[in-house]
Structure 1
Amino acid sequence: MFTDFQNLTVETSDLKINLLKGGEGYPILLLHGYPQNRMMWHKIAPRLAKYFAVIIPDLRGYGDSDKPSGMPNHYNYSKRVMAQDQIEVMEQLGYKEFYLVGHDRGGRVAHRLTLDYPHKVKKLALLDIAPTYQMYSETDQEFATAYYHWFFLIQPFPFPETLINNNSDFFLTHCLRSWSKTESAFTPEAMADYLRCFRDPRTVHGTCEDYRASATIDLEHDRQDQEKKIECPLLILWGNKGVMEKKYDVVKSWQKKAVNVRGKALNCGHFLPEESPEETYKSLDKFLRID
């Protein structure tokens, strides 16, 4: 699936990040979402590698990266700390600036990274998210029903971990199938790797901590930066069969958070790079390489 990519481990000041690296050219950093790992980019990363140096890490707590135990205030899974991981990864690989693409949780890390390190990110693409602070602030029954996991995973340890670990295969498969709207979106190879990683109780704990941080320390950081805007060009892509399309004016939401925004819906559900790889690739290629 990543034939011409290297599998590397980068040791940051805090932990080890596992990643794939392939291609040559201007660097592009791809950040995955929940409950997946670096494999979610397999349908488009080899095509991007024809023009870019493509770096695809597992976020802390996910995949084959380190999975530290959560702190009482969840700070070590804050998007600020997860963004710092990626800054250190890129610096160790020799990249002082780069393009950045994030899906789902990776998009939230990418948003924070771009706010904290605006000189590092030259173009940003976010896939199928609205701003975290807005989504929590506007929570209603429809949102809470569709995004039930936002409220389940933030419950204190070890409640969600215990329930998920009782049948992690069922939980992960249910999430992927219920949030996607495209039959056979997930290849057997990718699904096998998602299941492999999610069978590790440390992954389940790390991913819960990611969400616990979003409902606590991340909201504090967001409140402090309410007036700060993304300065680089921003592309927003979302699925027209998912919650983003139903609940939000996605471009308008991000226009409040950035100075230069464009975006469109693709014909799919939540998992754009796997449900609609051709549209996703063409949209990213046009934004990053051509425009």
Structure 2
Amino acid sequence: MTAPSIQEFETLTVSVDGRATSCEVGGTGSPLLLLHGFPETRLTWRQVAPLLADGFRGICPDLPGYGDSDRLGDGPEGFDKARVAAHFVALMRELGHDRFAVVGHDRGGLVAFRMALNHPGSVSHVGILDILPSADNWAALQGPAGVFAFHLYLLAQPTDLPERLIAADPSTFFGHFLDTWTKVPDAIPDAVRAHYLEVYSRPEVIHAVCDDYRASAFVDPAQDTENQEAGHTLSMPTLAAWQAPGDTPLPFDPQEIWSSWAADLRTEVLRCGHFLPEENPAAVAAAIRTLATT
């Protein structure tokens, strides 16, 4: 299958310390790193990136182990968000960008968050879309809310149980999230959906996804807690955006949580499902433009 691409963007493979990362790059202006989430690839940004191409040099990579990018190491430690963040800082320098804005959705949002905390000299602006820091996310899950986040517990199992279960029918497993997390009809066209499901049917990607979620259960929260206890916060202009809750109220207050992490905070609540860049690309692009030109 020929993968869809981002219109008028160039596909590049960038090597950092012998690890290859597949990216789509295009546009002119200030550098902007865009990181995708689960269960997607860099094609998440296929509508947002062109809307920003007149003022930003967009770099849209596959996360390590996802899509066509190499993983950074064995086991959950290869998906330690501090390690992934450092990798992308090095990748941006390889492309000639010492300082840049970064926006991440879902899993990519966790990387963007850690990058902004650990590398404030490199990150000028940060945006996090529809995700909470790992420590806050686990603290917020209680009671029936855990039903809707069952994948967090399943994928983080320390044995190969999730890999074995998912391999039996990956299209049904990952298709469940593409279908039930989307509120805007046809936001993910058939060709893009087929691309996502093809990528996530690969055994090495399934294993990478599980190790990524293991890292978010057993590695990343300790870093967040250490930052919280030390009073470390985001020092740059920060965007936090999330989907408007439906009939069931959220079991946490995103505004309160993000206000504790960022003094220079702007927020957006968008009427769509979880896949903000695909369901409401115009609003996401506008929010990024406003953030990154502050």
Query: How far off is 1:88 after superposition?
Result: 1.2
Q: Does 1:130 align with 2:129?
A: no
Question: Where do residues 12-23 of structure 1 align in structure 2 (5 Å cutoff)?
Answer: 12-13=16-17, 15-23=19-27
Separation in 2 of the partners of 1:23 and 1:168? 35
Separation in 2 of the partners of 1:7 and 1:86? 17
Query: How far off is 1:157 after superposition?
Result: 3.1
Q: Which runs of 5+ in 2 are unaligned?
A: none
Query: How far off is 1:252 after superposition?
Result: 1.5
**In the alignment, is the contact (CA less than 8 A) between 1:185 and 1:275 conserved in 2?**
yes
Query: How far off is 1:98 after superposition?
Result: 0.4
In structure 1, what is the equivalent of residue 263 of structure 2? 259
Could you list the structure 1 runs, at least 4 aligned residues long, displaced by more than 4 angstroms after superposition: 242-245
Separation in 1 of the partners of 2:155 and 2:261? 26
Q: Indicate the SS of the match to 1:122.
A: strand
In structure 2, what is the equivalent of residue 66 of structure 1? 70
In structure 1, what is the equivalent of residue 221 of structure 2? 219
Q: Does 1:33 align with 2:8?
A: no
**Cα 1:260–1:118, aligned 2, differ >3 Å: closer, same or farther?**
same
Q: Indicate the SS of the match to 1:53.
A: strand
Matching residue within 89, 96, 113 for 1:111: 113
**Cα 1:239–1:195, aligned 2, differ >3 Å: closer, same or farther?**
same
Normalising by structure 1, we get a TM-score of: 0.94
Query: How far off is 1:156 after superposition?
Result: 2.1
Matching residue within 136, 139, 142 for 2:141: 139
How many positions carry a matched residue from both structures?
288
Give the letter aligned to residue 270 of structure 2. L
Q: Which runs of 5+ in 1 are unaligned?
A: none
Separation in 2 of the partners of 1:16 and 1:143? 38
Separation in 2 of the partners of 1:242 and 1:5? 35
In structure 1, what is the equivalent of residue 195 of structure 2? 193
* 1:86-114, Cα deviation, whole Å (9 max, x unpaired): 11110100000001100000000111011
Give the letter aligned to residue 59 of structure 2. I
In structure 1, what is the equivalent of residue 173 of structure 2? 171
Separation in 2 of the partners of 1:118 and 1:158? 36
**In the alignment, is the contact (CA less than 8 A) between 2:44 and 2:277 conserved in 1?**
yes
**In the alignment, is the contact (CA less than 8 A) between 1:22 and 1:54 conserved in 2?**
yes
